[in-house]
Structure 1
Amino acid sequence: MAYRNGTYVAFHAGGTTDPTKSDIKYYNTMKMWDASKHIEFSLCNSHEKTSSVRDSSKKETLKRSLITRLRNSKQFLLILTKTTKNDTDWVPFEIAYAVDNCELPLILAYPDYDSIMAPDELSDYWPPALKTRIENGSARAIHIPFRKAPVLDALSQFDITNKNYPTNGYGYYTREAHQEWGLV
């Protein structure tokens, strides 16, 4: 069995590598937090644990690489924006494999929100693969705003080695936690 210590980060790339035109900018923000000596943030990035693949690679090569990364991960962080639900290619595959095969807890991060205390009201952001798994109870998820403090806290708490994760797909932090982070 693989040593599962990475964080798998998924986002809708929108068919482009231009960071200004896709959700890759949020992934890059996390990498910047990790690289900064002035920010207390650490990311064990599953995408850096296998060889790089490019969009020009064969679909089967990409799929094998994603599966390896998911199998080596302890948690799955999905960045959800208004366009994520439109992804019909890799995001649905990543969600399905993470939940159905790897049983990874999901950290669902929303850049458009400063606080989240009613996750069911955000279902318009969910791709069908996520919505189905939340509604049928197979996904265990915490919904958070995409802000450094909640992301860091969720990464430190919700993984396969620490059974302190939500038991269903509607987990969220309390109002007090949001206040502590200065978000409400």
Structure 2
Amino acid sequence: MAYRNGTYVAFDGNGTTDPTKGDMKYYALLQSWNASNKFELTFSDSHKKTYQVKDTSSKITLQARLLERMRNSKNMLLIISDYTNWDRGMLNFEIEKAIDHYNIPIIVAYTGYSNILNPRALAGKWPKALYDRIMNQSAKCIHIPFKQKSISAAVSQFSIHNKRDELTSSLSYYTEDTYRGWGYL
């Protein structure tokens, strides 16, 4: 059995490999935060632990590589932006497998927000697989803004290993006091 210490980052690739477009730019920003010693955020990126998958790879090869990465993951950071699609590409596959097969807690990070105090109001942004699992309460999620301090806190706090801090809801979120402490309110 694999040691599950990575953070699996999921986002809608929007059919591009250009790191300056769509959700790819948020993943690139996340990687730069993680690599920099100027930020508190550090995590083990599950995508760095296996061979890269090329655009020419078959869907079966891609899915196998994603599942391998998931087996080594303690949590999933799901980036949601205005570019995120309801039902396109591999994102719904990733969410479904993370929740249904690997019981991975989901950290839902929304771009363009300084705080998330009512996750249900953002339901229109959720990909189909997430929407379905939040509605049937099979997902364990914390909803946060795509901000360095909130990501750092959630990644370190919520994992398959932290039973004490285990998420008990599909609609968990941090309090106003927490956001004030981070300087986001």
Structure 2 length normalisation: TM-score? 0.96
Check conservation: 1:83, 1:125, Cα contact below 8 A.
no
Give the percent of matched residue pairs that are identical in Structure 1 and Structure 2. 47
Instruction: Give the match for residue 78 of structure 1.
Output: 78
Could you tell me how far apart the structure 1 residues matched to 2:145 and 2:24 are? 16
The Cα RMSD (Å) is 1.0
SS in 2 for 1:84: coil
Farther-moved stretch of structure 1 (84-93 vs 136-145):
84-93
SS in 1 for 2:94: helix
SS in 1 for 2:161: coil
Shift, 1:182, TM fit: 0.8
Unaligned regions of 5+ residues in structure 2, if any?
none
Could you tell me how far apart the structure 1 residues matched to 2:77 and 2:41 are? 15
Check conservation: 1:142, 1:165, Cα contact below 8 A.
no
Instruction: Give the match for residue 182 of structure 1.
Output: 183
Shift, 1:13, TM fit: 1.0
* Number of equivalences: 184
Structure 1 length normalisation: TM-score? 0.97
Shift, 1:98, TM fit: 0.1
Farther-moved stretch of structure 1 (85-94 vs 4-13):
85-94
Matched AA of 2:39 = I
Shift, 1:41, TM fit: 2.0
Segments of 4+ moved more than 6 angstroms: none
Unaligned regions of 5+ residues in structure 1, if any?
none
Instruction: Give the match for residue 166 of structure 1.
Output: 167
**Structure 2 counterparts to residues 47-58 of structure 1, below 5 A:** 47-58=47-58
Measured against aligned partners, the alpha-carbon deviations of 1:133-177 in whole angstroms (never above 9, x if no partner) come to 001010000000000000000001000000213212100000000
